[in-house]
Amino acid sequence: MNLLVIGKGGREHALVWKLRQSPRAGKVFCAPGNAGTAAEGATNVAIDHTETDKLNRFCAREQIGLVVIGPEDPLAAGLADYLRDKGFRVFGPSKEAARIEGSKVFAKELMRHADVPTADFQVFDHPGPARTYVETRDYPVVVKADGLAAGKGVVVCKDNTEAMQAVRRIMTEEEFGRTAGRKIVIEKKLDGEELSVLALVSGRTILPLPACQDHKAVNDGDKGPNTGGMGAYCPAPAATPKLMAEFERDVFVPVVHAMKRARYPFQGVLYAGMMLTNQGSRVLEFNARFGDPETQPVLMRLKTDLLDLLEAVADERLHEFENKVEWDPRPAVCVVLCSGGYPGKYDNGKEITGVAEADALPGVKVFHAGTKTDDKGRVVTDGGRVLGVTALGSDLAAAKARAYEAVKLIRFAGMHYRTDIADKALKVKPVAAPVEPPKLPAKFRRPGGDKPATS
């Protein structure tokens, strides 16, 4: 089967790498791809996701059996619908369903409707009332741009002054774009430990993947502005089996059911960003696709054929894989290497060295994100997040050590990265076991106990 992966980031390199391992994979193409996808033996195709007619003609010419859409932008623009209408099988949700990521307002109102636990919030379409609301809060808030902003449209504010600045940046200065900042969500800031919980969803079947922990802030200790993600590890010890069952029952089932009942059923990867508070678990946001960088450690551990899984989602046969997905028992850690200045302005075209040496270490895979090959044949930087150095280890500490061992072999001008990926799970102070939050209030709970997660 010939395959086409849409996108050019670290997530897409990981998808290409894993799909290429399938014995059923024929030619694998990536549009537009990066230096890493080309190195995997995939063919990069210089077509943007907005060039829908070109994609249609390409898929027909190359007899593409499955299109896998990686990033959020083409999903929000309706590329999955367009290609399905042309007769191609697609892994990824419809435009209507992708609103769960494309609009923070839509997602929060959906959660309210489905009785899914989330932070208290208000929606504003004008900066005046938003400022008044902020002034009347006696607790810290988070200000979110409604639309897509490459993972940077969420401003966590420590006081009202910062919240006022965030309203101005998003709505008045349109820092994240006119469309993204047309509306904002202001919600109560939650404190606790974050988890990324991804699930394959198709028809009536919800298949959760092992939970990860992402690191959004640019600097160690979760300091500095938010980014698209500075690193991740999988599995996250805080996600106990009991907690995962609660997420399935109290988050995924009601949301998937509500979307299907409203006639925009979800098909693809539904990603819930969770916060474990001392009042129980709360949903921070939803994404409508594989996370980046979470995909890198998740796919490092996946032993089941990825093509089989994605095809089953597209064909609504995912129920065939319930309790049958195999995982490497070793944990994985991914460290993201960034261009100087990221998440602000940065320069491209910096030569990258040492990737082959890092890749040669046992249990290590370097996934390319913002890279390209220049006219001299050199691999150079071509984005803010450049590489995702991912490693397996006998335990989390060993995986972290191996990942940073590989990081030290790589060089490019301005390179920066966090040095504390996975430290939240490797606390210096002795911890007997991950502390589970209290059960959710009764109004948020669903009847049925631990029945299979069907919507």
- Write out the chain's pLDDT in tens, 455 residues: 999 999 999 999 999 999 999 999 999 999 999 999 999 999 999 999 999 999 999 999 999 999 999 999 999 999 999 999 999 999 999 999 999 999 999 999 999 999 999 999 999 999 999 999 999 999 999 999 999 987 778 999 999 999 999 999 999 999 998 889 999 999 999 999 999 999 999 989 999 999 999 999 999 999 998 898 999 999 999 999 999 999 999 999 999 999 999 999 999 999 999 999 999 999 999 999 999 999 999 999 999 999 999 999 999 999 999 989 999 999 999 999 999 999 999 999 999 999 999 999 999 999 999 999 999 999 999 999 999 999 999 999 999 999 999 999 999 999 999 999 999 998 734 334 444 444 555 554 454 444 444 44
Name the CA dihedral angle for 214, 322, 72, 123, rounded to a multiple of 10 degrees.
-80
**This prediction's pTM:** 0.90
Q: Are the beta carbons of 72 and 102 closer than 8 angstroms?
A: yes
Q: Are the beta carbons of 452 and 240 closer than 8 angstroms?
A: no
Matching CATH number, 2-91, of 3.30.428.10, 3.40.50.20, 2.60.40.1930, 3.40.640.10: 3.40.50.20
Q: How far apart are CA 270 and CA 250, in angstroms?
A: 14
Domain 193-425 has CATH 3.30.470.20: yes
Domain spanning 120-188: CATH superfamily: ATP-grasp fold, A domain (3.30.1490.20)
Taking the domains of the chain in order of start, what are their residue ranges?
2-91, 120-188, 193-425
Q: Would you say the C-alpha torsion 390, 292, 205, 282 has a positive or negative sign?
A: positive
Q: How far apart are CA 302 and CA 19, in angstroms?
A: 11
